[in-house]
Structure 1
């Protein structure tokens, strides 16, 4: 393999690792799922 190919492979591996690290380190912000609020039963003692 030529020197240029080795250097390009190293840079590609470095870029891939950086992308994976940044994606893994970013906070996971998930929207809260809007759940329909259940109406209390007319005949329930607990509610």
Structure 2
């Protein structure tokens, strides 16, 4: 995967994010979760 500007791979960033989520490194409340889902849906569109 490439950044939108053609820079380096974002795969390591996603991997770190996933690892932090799986280990309980952060929490997302309902409002934040909805904002994340909206952002993901906007990126898909």
TM bracket (short chain) = 0.3 to 0.5
User: Could you say which structure has the higher helix fraction?
Assistant: 2
Larger relative contact order (C-alpha < 8 A, sep ≥ 6)?
A: 2
Rg larger in structure: 1
Q: TM-score, normalised by structure 1?
A: 0.35
Q: TM-score, normalised by structure 2?
A: 0.36
